[in-house]
Amino acid sequence: MPRNVLRVIRLNNGFQLLFNLLWWMPVFYEYQKQAGLSDSQIFGIQSIYYVAFCLLEIPTGLLADRIGQRRCLQLGAAVMTAANLVPVAWPSFSGFLLHFLAIAAARSLVSGASSAYLYEYLHANGAGEHYVQAEGTARSLGLWAKIACWPLVGVLMHLQHQAPYLLTAACTLGSLACAGALPALAADHDAQRPHAERAGLLSSARQALTLLKSSKSLGPLMVQGVAIFTLARICQVNLFQPLLLDKAIPVADHGAVLSAMTVAEAVGSARPGWVRGKLSDTAAVTVLSLVMALSLAATTMAGAMATIGWLCVFAAATGLAYPVQRNLINAAIPKTPYRATLLSLESIIDRGVCALVALAVGAYLAADRLDALLVHAAVGTCLLLLVVSVVLWFIRRDRVRPAPEKA
């Protein structure tokens, strides 16, 4: 691997690890309670955060395509650093609301730009075959860092109450240094860039949507990726504790189970070649999505220990699938100055579907129908993947069909 490519991969690893290492994550609820916030205020802030994230995705994607993905990463890291200092200086409802709104802005600035930058740099330097492994390794390192650091947060908070937020700000400042050391993309200087900068935001959005419509496979591949994101988010955020409690697993053991799942996901993220050597990328994403859905469904017939085992299988499949799916989407986007915008559009689709599914999850849990929810989720995922597979098959068939001979 060329030395400059290896350097960029290492800088990307450092950026992803430091930017996403939120030390306060395991204790932010208790931190806000101690600051005097009520449950309704805490969860109200969370709802506003998700709405803000979706609203900011497209504008920040357009911004990344206009000013350059590297600069957008630097801006996102700077905003994230400032965001994590707000609870230290202003521990109140307004302060925490500003904190999460700034995090939404920072994460939306980075979400499409980071993947787009890495993909374009590696392909521009003849190292495109390393993209999937680089994406997976960065995700894996971030997960291992959380496994190592999160158990220490409770003790650190006891010693210094504001330590979780100060440490997070220090890490995001390090991510800013990594982003600052990244080289500029050649695409920043090509003939398309001045045109993209002259175009207004609405014009740029229309051109990105036109590109999405003109690509037959990009839309179906985005829909295929919805299964991975939705299943992972719903399992790890909404269903994790209800499922363990349903299996009579004590609350004191939930942290250990989450650690085991994180280890499984980290191992999977670091080894995407295990499935790419046997299946095409499209088939690998389909198979791994099915494994995720069926693993959740299998917990309905499992005891406590078997449920933990199935959850680890689910996490490993998630880790394997994510970098492969990232590569599929990037490969389906032709050379364009709107790559970050299209990746942001995919993120909005993922989170929009996730929000709808979360409403259904609440209804199922309120009716005490957890097992039915897991089975229906598996069936819905299988049907979605079947439809996407059929659509992609017709697209591939049309591409290879020979043109009719002229008389």
pLDDT of residue 251: 66
For every residue of 129-162, DSSP letters joined together read GGHHHHHHHHHHHHHHHHHHHGGGHHHHHHHSTT
pLDDT of residue 333: 77
In contact, 168 and 23? CB cutoff 8 Å = yes
Q: Which CATH class is domain 201-400?
A: mainly alpha
Same fold, 1-184 and 201-400: yes
Superfamily of segment(s) 1-184: MFS general substrate transporter like domains (1.20.1250.20)
pLDDT of residue 18: 92
- Dist. CA 113–CA 16, nearest whole Å: 12
- Dist. CA 212–CA 61, nearest whole Å: 14
Reduced to 3 states (helix: H, G, I; strand: E, B; else coil), residue 95 is helix
pLDDT of residue 252: 64
Reduced to 3 states (helix: H, G, I; strand: E, B; else coil), residue 202 is helix
Number of DSSP helices (H) and strands (E) in the chain, helices first: 18, 0
Q: What is the mean pLDDT of each run of 10 residues along the chain (407 residues)?
A: 88 91 80 81 76 77 77 92 93 90 89 82 84 83 83 80 91 93 69 46 62 73 83 76 81 73 85 82 90 91 90 91 83 72 74 74 80 88 89 76 50
In residues, how long is the chain? 407
pLDDT of residue 132: 81
**H-helix or E-strand spanning residue 350:** helix 339-366
Picking from 183, 193, 217, 165, the residue whose alpha carbon sits closest to that of residue 67 is 193
**H-helix or E-strand spanning residue 260:** helix 254-270
Name the H helices within 215-280. Answer: 218-233, 240-246, 254-270, 273-276
pLDDT of residue 227: 84
Listed as own residue / partner, the contacts of 356-361 with beta carbons closer than 8 Å and 24 or more positions apart are: 357/230, 357/234, 358/234, 358/238, 361/234, 361/238, 361/239
What is the domain partition of the chain in residue ranges?
1-184, 201-400
Q: Supply the DSSP symbol for 239.
A: I
- Dist. CA 87–CA 219, nearest whole Å: 40
The 3 state secondary structure assigned to 304-336 is HHHHHHHHHHHHHHHHHHHHHHHHHHHHHCCCC
Token pair for residue 139?
A: 């995700």
pTM of the model: 0.71
